Amino acid sequence: MSTPLPPPRTAVVDAVSRALAEDLEPLGDVTSSLLPADLVATARFVVRVDGVVAGCACVTETYAQLDPTVSISWSVTDGDVVAAGTELAAITGPLPSLLTGERTALNLLGHLSGIATATAAHVAAARAGGNAQVWDTRKTTPGLRALEKAAVRAGGGRNHRGNLSDWILLKDNHIALYGIADAVARARAMWPAKTVHVECDTVAQVREALDAGADALLLDNMSPEKVRECVAMVATSARRPLLEASGGITLDTIADYSATGVDCISVGGLTNSSPVLDIGLDIESGVETGAGSD
Amino acid sequence: MSTPLPPPRTAVVDAVSRALAEDLEPLGDVTSSLLPADLVATARFVVRVDGVVAGCACVTETYAQLDPTVSISWSVTDGDVVAAGTELAAITGPLPSLLTGERTALNLLGHLSGIATATAAHVAAARAGGNAQVWDTRKTTPGLRALEKAAVRAGGGRNHRGNLSDWILLKDNHIALYGIADAVARARAMWPAKTVHVECDTVAQVREALDAGADALLLDNMSPEKVRECVAMVATSARRPLLEASGGITLDTIADYSATGVDCISVGGLTNSSPVLDIGLDIESGVETGAGSD
Amino acid sequence: MSTPLPPPRTAVVDAVSRALAEDLEPLGDVTSSLLPADLVATARFVVRVDGVVAGCACVTETYAQLDPTVSISWSVTDGDVVAAGTELAAITGPLPSLLTGERTALNLLGHLSGIATATAAHVAAARAGGNAQVWDTRKTTPGLRALEKAAVRAGGGRNHRGNLSDWILLKDNHIALYGIADAVARARAMWPAKTVHVECDTVAQVREALDAGADALLLDNMSPEKVRECVAMVATSARRPLLEASGGITLDTIADYSATGVDCISVGGLTNSSPVLDIGLDIESGVETGAGSD
Amino acid sequence: MSTPLPPPRTAVVDAVSRALAEDLEPLGDVTSSLLPADLVATARFVVRVDGVVAGCACVTETYAQLDPTVSISWSVTDGDVVAAGTELAAITGPLPSLLTGERTALNLLGHLSGIATATAAHVAAARAGGNAQVWDTRKTTPGLRALEKAAVRAGGGRNHRGNLSDWILLKDNHIALYGIADAVARARAMWPAKTVHVECDTVAQVREALDAGADALLLDNMSPEKVRECVAMVATSARRPLLEASGGITLDTIADYSATGVDCISVGGLTNSSPVLDIGLDIESGVETGAGSD
Amino acid sequence: MSTPLPPPRTAVVDAVSRALAEDLEPLGDVTSSLLPADLVATARFVVRVDGVVAGCACVTETYAQLDPTVSISWSVTDGDVVAAGTELAAITGPLPSLLTGERTALNLLGHLSGIATATAAHVAAARAGGNAQVWDTRKTTPGLRALEKAAVRAGGGRNHRGNLSDWILLKDNHIALYGIADAVARARAMWPAKTVHVECDTVAQVREALDAGADALLLDNMSPEKVRECVAMVATSARRPLLEASGGITLDTIADYSATGVDCISVGGLTNSSPVLDIGLDIESGVETGAGSD
Amino acid sequence: MSTPLPPPRTAVVDAVSRALAEDLEPLGDVTSSLLPADLVATARFVVRVDGVVAGCACVTETYAQLDPTVSISWSVTDGDVVAAGTELAAITGPLPSLLTGERTALNLLGHLSGIATATAAHVAAARAGGNAQVWDTRKTTPGLRALEKAAVRAGGGRNHRGNLSDWILLKDNHIALYGIADAVARARAMWPAKTVHVECDTVAQVREALDAGADALLLDNMSPEKVRECVAMVATSARRPLLEASGGITLDTIADYSATGVDCISVGGLTNSSPVLDIGLDIESGVETGAGSD
């Protein structure tokens, strides 16, 4: 199988330059100024707990922007499953540079690996119940969507709409105004090749959307039983639309939804509520930094 | 008491414009294009669970940038404690504009309110044990530090260093190289008015840092008992430095640390691991969106 | 029918601020400096030839950024068909400001109206032959895609992919590597709700893509006869995919393609080769500027 | 003779980074994600029709920003006249990178080469009639002026004002207010070393501008005969100002204007109405892309 | 006479937003956070010494970006000569906002007024000797050229080249390579309407440049006597080119150069070495800030 | 002793790219276009007067952004004391590139070295009187603060607050509202680890601030005698706060203030009124540019 699509390089470059400016200006790293500028050291990014890695390109870019004399050697790549204690990468260069970039690198790597790790956990749980894929949503951290959606892919998840420009998602307001059949027809007329996705709160709406020829149905806030009912109904249609279950589904309940035969399950919490993955930077000589420091 | 310092307006304006571009380009909101452009509606931001609000300025700015004809009326302000079901604000304007800005507004409001809410929970827990303040760290989401640190303030917390330019924090590498006394002296010589903060892993280091005249001591990864020992030692000094406990302290253990008499307790998780606060946008006519949609 | 989706406001604001800086810095409009700063005048945007208008928001934004005391009153809106001599808008304010913004406003308005006008011509020609819609492509002017795709919509066209992130378009390289059936399956697995579009050079490939369940087929460089053959083949399938004809189709040949029954016809020239629509700014007192000046 | 001035590197870097972000965000190239990341290929930029090349630096910059492992080898340079079928450059690197950058590279190269080609055609036509140079105008595509003016130079044309800051161009409003003599005097007083250019609609105005000592005269919307009359009048003056013919001059009429003895002829259409030059990217193995695809 | 051209608004907006971000991020004005957010006050910008004002638009923009509820009322405008103690403007709004914007506003206003004041002093000194105008150079502060060149205009000076794109200035390297006659001819051929300015170190070079038909001559590092000799030589030519004296001319020597009859005298120090004009912000209640505070 | 902290690389990159765009767009260096593009030359940055160097990284970055084929070899580094005539660096590359970057490089290098030189002069003068350090202020040139504060460090000075986010500085308004004791207490409560600095106009206020436990006292506009009195008073306190003298102190009076025993003396003029250090670029063949050219 092909590897997950990495984030666009433009997004990596922009996020890192904003993060460095944010952490350094106006004076720079006043503490690192106390160290000899030419003291070369090696440090290792080590994961403290089990997880899935994402965001490697951000770490590389951080040091490239900060100090091109720092070299970096990766032992893993985005999407790798790692056990607590695994060394992810080693960096060598002037100690002040290593320390100045540490927090920017760790913030990006930890945040994105946290998302990949949470995604992988949901994927595993879903697989325990059935074959449903795990989807993200547009509930991302403003300014980091491209990186977060790539982290979801690294964790084995799939991406829902990239943004509002991506595809049609008809919700209650559109349906209230036009009814499902007319709303789908209008969408097709205006945006002929866009996916038309319809949010359905009831089985009756699923019926309507099916008849209207929607490409995908979002089954919103339904119980697993209701979802199963929809799956059955759809199975008999000429061209089975994609079925997405959504709405308050968690790691605890995802297997039940997966077992319904639904195609995918979207979880907003992957991108807006995943805790960071604990990763530290151990400076050679065994000194280590990490959870306890600012 | 004065109200917490709001985020710099420059940070609000930039974060919102990046978030809107990210959600809209290149085509715009293809789904809202199906609605009549002149259909005016009112919608209400309603919090689904108890929490503390932060990020109001981001919501106002979202609609100002998107469509200046949208008006907004706030019932709360950053730092307000709100119960599930509380209306935070009402917006009135063209329905397509209300919907197009919904996710950007909610992503910012939910993320920042999530941080404020988690902060408030830690503040309450700390207060149950003693008088320690709750601090954030530099473990923030890249690109959003100014907004996240303001959310911590809204939640009743206090800010640790704004960034690497803010003050001196001597850690193991600096100490290994120079010893604490010399490292503090070098910091004072180079940056005479900057706070000098020393990370101490042992009681012996606390003694040294005290003698060196550090302004603040970071007690790293110590048990409450060890912290208590440090508090006692410091109490007898001519000018008691600020004592910060740090390292893996959680909502469960923060009261115990607060009870030691330490001045402040820093928690990286406030900014890098807080789940979003569940807030939805209810369109008039009772239709509501929220947890279940992309 | 609903009005075409306007361009994202973020794109309008950015394009205008870049255009103004490009035309003004470093010294400003050295010629307008000779005029009395307080001489108020009125000027009218007048179209010199028949056409379709697009880009009104860019003109409004130009004067808003340049001098908020300039007022503007529109007689038309994006998508309006206008005859030579029609007044599009009147602006009133300090004469130096009116002149300083003239070229930026006209460059945007003329370029986008040129695209809308060319689109409308293709739409009319296609309609003369059949019911095919007219599509743009990603062959847009770098930095202006969002505005140009909105201009296509204003002209009655439809948008192909917004960008590479939008949907899947399998071309010869992917097909050579995997074959159509496998390529479609891989696309579905990786991007379950994305439109899967397959470029077909032969009728045999159309057959394959149909069997593979593609959502849309791009019939590349086929004669109208071949396209008609494909339309017939597809008509018998359970769910007729969208059929796009593409490749060197012009205003002269588009009716023939439309007559085949194909769903849409994409024309790269709409966005990368349309001449500007001739629009001038007539200063009151009958003085006029336009085609002859820098 | 020296080679034409290339565009400022800052303009190349900015245009490319905006174009890449526009084509890639938020998800990246979803189609290229299906290809093996390590499949190396070679592709050739080949021009499909005769023309003049411009924009090579943009192609190089596109791949430098996208993937530094892609190497590029140029067979031509800006300003080269090329026959249909000529290979312009060969690129070698990971196939997904080659394809992801294809449209950005082609859009810039095709647009700028289109301008250079149209310019060269006008230059040749003008030369057939006389010695007049061909000028561009400020009628450029917003955001791309620096690149487009460089493309005009590559095509053998000359640049009119770079922007409003560049030199003085007195038009009807200034003349109506002050008269030509006074307007020129005011311009000289305020901007002593700036070129003072006067737009003249009549032979009488040419006389006045000549007496006022203008550096250049824009003969606006005059017939070749009238222009010839102005040339004769000016020939007898102590210091012959530069004479520019302008206003609706096209490829068909430019020779007649050139034959008048005028110094230069400005053509807005070079930059705002030139069709793209058809250039494709042929992937090795003979597979080719180009006119027919999105 | 018309008023001096103000700086491009795009330059004002950009400079202010960079300055505010630089002074405020990441935490904001931590000191102003101690004040009641709703305490309204009035403050006055008062000049402490005699001078000339420039940069008013930057002050207005500072408060517009920071807090739109602050109102500002100006008593002066760019170019006004003011005596020590003059009130320039009064601002009313929340005291924290007034104080937060104080330094940004004063830094811009003081810097630009310093340039205007120094320019005015040079203009007055030059006028004491003759009629030479005072010119700036490209020796400006990086990032502020547009504002600084506008400040020179406010002080009664004139602008030399806006930048390298503006006009031709042939210096020793070009002359060494081609000789003056050929260099001027090449410049005319390539850039027909651009001012051609030739740097002359000797009277012989002045002769050559005169014969070559240069538009302007830069008399570099010549004594007033030598300049006078050049003025005399040029006076007899058919069309007297503009004569600029340049090179180490100061307030002490400018009258002597002006007395030579030269047209203009350029002084790099206007923009790169002028001290700030001392302006303070006096908060109502008589409290004042200014020279003594950070 | 460790070397002074260099400016953040993000600030160098941004300042240079803005400066280059400002000097080059839209057309580029029209004069250098006359030179053969492949004429390679060597040039030397030579200081014309005694001084201290700062801004080397900006010169390197200028040529890196403009033309990566230019190589640069430094003989000095930031902070070096240099005598008139010293070669600072040699650059080799295409002559047009050397000349195009000259002014940007010199403007940055001259401005920053001017600040370093003025700082070093103040440091020497202060040392003649006592042991006081020399401080900058926030009176910096908008957009260049990070570079200017680094130049002060290069000159042997120390940095006052980086910006408003850095530490607390209580001035008259805060004191008038709360009194010193309460104001300090509020600052400590809100910002526990921030330096609390109190501006004192009288000896009585010094007493109050001392009792309130302020970290630093700004002695504003006091005579040396008054400062001496404050030093004596503070000497007897348990923990001597830092004492800063400020307000109109110049090179002439700084020794007297230093002799009082005060810790540091802040001088706004270092960053807002220092003349540029005269540095030129000598092209090989002995040709030189510098003070006399635009």
DSSP assignment string, C28-76: --TTGGGS-TT-EEEEEEEESSSEE---HHHHHHHHHHH-TT-EEEES-
Q: Which of F133, F193, F213 sits opposite B195 (nearest CB)?
A: F193
Query: Beta-strand (E) ranges in chain D?
Result: 40-47, 51-52, 71-74, 81-82, 87-94, 133-135, 168-170, 196-200, 216-220, 242-246, 264-266, 279-283
What local confidence, expressed as pLDDT, does residue D289 receive? 45
Percentage, residues of chain B above pLDDT 90: 92
What is the set of domains in chain D, with CATH numbers? Answer: 9-121+276-289 (3.90.1170.20), 128-272 (3.20.20.70)
What residue spans of E155-253 are helical by DSSP H?
172-178, 180-190, 203-212, 224-235
Identify which has the larger pLDDT, B91 or A239: B91
- Asked whether the beta carbons of E138 and F294 are under 8 A apart, the reply is yes
Q: How many CB pairs under 8 A join B and C?
A: 50
D160 → chain E, closest CA residue: E193
Give pLDDT tens digits for C112-124.
Answer: 999 999 999 999 9
- Extract the residue ranges of chain E whose pLDDT is less than 70: 1-2, 285-293
pLDDT band at F34 (very low <50, low <70, confident <90, very high): very high
What local confidence, expressed as pLDDT, does residue E3 receive? 85
Between CA F192 and CA F213 the distance in angstroms is 13
What local confidence, expressed as pLDDT, does residue A287 receive? 44
Between CA A229 and CA A203 the distance in angstroms is 8
pLDDT band at B256 (very low <50, low <70, confident <90, very high): very high
- Extract the residue ranges of chain A whose pLDDT is less than 50: 1, 286-291
Q: Which residues contact E187 (CB under 8 A, 6 or more apart)?
A: E168, E170, E194, E196, F31, F34
Catalytic residue among C14, C50, C67, C220: C220
Percentage, residues of chain F above pLDDT 90: 92
C-alpha distances in Å from residue D210, one per residue of D164, D205, D230, D237: 23, 8, 10, 8
What would the mean pLDDT of B251-258 be, rounded to a whole number? 97
What would the mean pLDDT of D132-140 be, rounded to a whole number? 98
CB–CB contact B24 C10 (8 Å) = yes
The overall average pLDDT reported for chain B is 95
Active site residue D171: yes
What local confidence, expressed as pLDDT, does residue D1 receive? 47
Q: Which of D26, D29, D66 sits opposite A146 (nearest CB)?
A: D26
Residue B33 gets which letter from DSSP? G
C136 → chain D, closest CA residue: D294
Give pLDDT tens digits for D24-64.
Answer: 999 999 999 999 988 999 999 999 999 999 999 999 999 99
What local confidence, expressed as pLDDT, does residue B154 receive? 98
Neighbours of chain F (3+ CB pairs under 8 A): A, B, C, D, E
What local confidence, expressed as pLDDT, does residue C1 receive? 47
What local confidence, expressed as pLDDT, does residue C239 receive? 75
- Nearest Cα neighbor of C137 from C145, C129, C127, C126 is C145
* Helix%, strand%, coil% for chain E, nearest 5: 40, 20, 40
| pLDDT exceeds 80 at position D259 | yes
What local confidence, expressed as pLDDT, does residue B1 receive? 47
Residue E35 gets which letter from DSSP? S
What would the mean pLDDT of F22-47 be, rounded to a whole number? 95
Active site residue C139: yes
What is the ipTM for the molecules in this complex?
A: 0.95
CB–CB contact D162 F27 (8 Å) = yes
pLDDT band at D285 (very low <50, low <70, confident <90, very high): low
Length of chain B as a residue count: 294
What local confidence, expressed as pLDDT, does residue D291 receive? 47
Between CA E147 and CA C99 the distance in angstroms is 21
Catalytic residue among B78, B148, B199, B208: B199
What local confidence, expressed as pLDDT, does residue A189 receive? 94
C-alpha distances in Å from residue E140, one per residue of E269, E277, F256: 9, 17, 35
- Asked whether the beta carbons of B256 and B231 are under 8 A apart, the reply is no
What would the mean pLDDT of F40-57 be, rounded to a whole number? 98
Backbone angles phi, psi at A264, to 5 degrees: -155, 160
pLDDT band at F200 (very low <50, low <70, confident <90, very high): very high
Backbone angles phi, psi at C250, to 5 degrees: -125, 180
Between CA F122 and CA F155 the distance in angstroms is 9
CB–CB contact D195 E195 (8 Å) = yes
What local confidence, expressed as pLDDT, does residue E289 receive? 46
Give pLDDT tens digits for F57-66.
Answer: 999 999 999 9
- Nearest Cα neighbor of C148 from C74, C58, C281 is C58
pLDDT 10s digit of each residue in chain C, 294 long? Answer: 458 999 999 999 999 999 999 999 999 999 999 999 889 999 999 999 999 999 999 999 999 999 999 999 999 999 999 999 999 999 999 999 999 999 999 999 999 999 999 999 999 999 999 999 999 999 999 999 999 999 999 999 999 999 999 999 999 989 999 999 999 999 999 999 999 999 999 999 999 999 999 999 999 999 999 999 999 999 988 778 999 999 999 999 999 999 999 999 999 999 999 999 999 999 986 444 444 557
pLDDT band at D236 (very low <50, low <70, confident <90, very high): confident
Active site residue B220: yes
Partners of B103 on chain A (C-beta within 8 Å) are: 138-139, 164
CB–CB contact B24 C3 (8 Å) = no
Q: Which of F1, F5, F60, F159 to mutate to test the interface with A (most CBs of A within 10 A)?
A: F5
Structure tokens at D226: 């009238």
Active site residue F194: no
B169 → chain F, closest CA residue: F193
Percentage, residues of chain D above pLDDT 70: 96
Between CA D84 and CA B154 the distance in angstroms is 66
What would the mean pLDDT of B136-150 be, rounded to a whole number? 98
What local confidence, expressed as pLDDT, does residue B251 receive? 96
| pLDDT exceeds 80 at position D86 | yes
Between CA F212 and CA F175 the distance in angstroms is 12
pTM of the model: 0.96
If 0-12 CB within 10 Å is exposed, 13-18 middle and 19+ buried, where does residue D223 land? middle
- Asked whether the beta carbons of C133 and C245 are under 8 A apart, the reply is no
Give pLDDT tens digits for F173-197.
Answer: 899 999 999 999 999 999 999 999 9
Length of chain A as a residue count: 294
Pick from B250-259, C252-261, D81-90, D278-287: least confident: D278-287
Which residues of A touch chain E, with CB atoms under 8 Å apart?
Answer: 22, 25-26
In sign, the C-alpha dihedral spanning C186, C190, C193, C195 is: negative
What would the mean pLDDT of F248-273 be, rounded to a whole number? 97
Q: Which residues contact C128 (CB under 8 A, 6 or more apart)?
A: C255, C258
If 0-12 CB within 10 Å is exposed, 13-18 middle and 19+ buried, where does residue F128 land? exposed
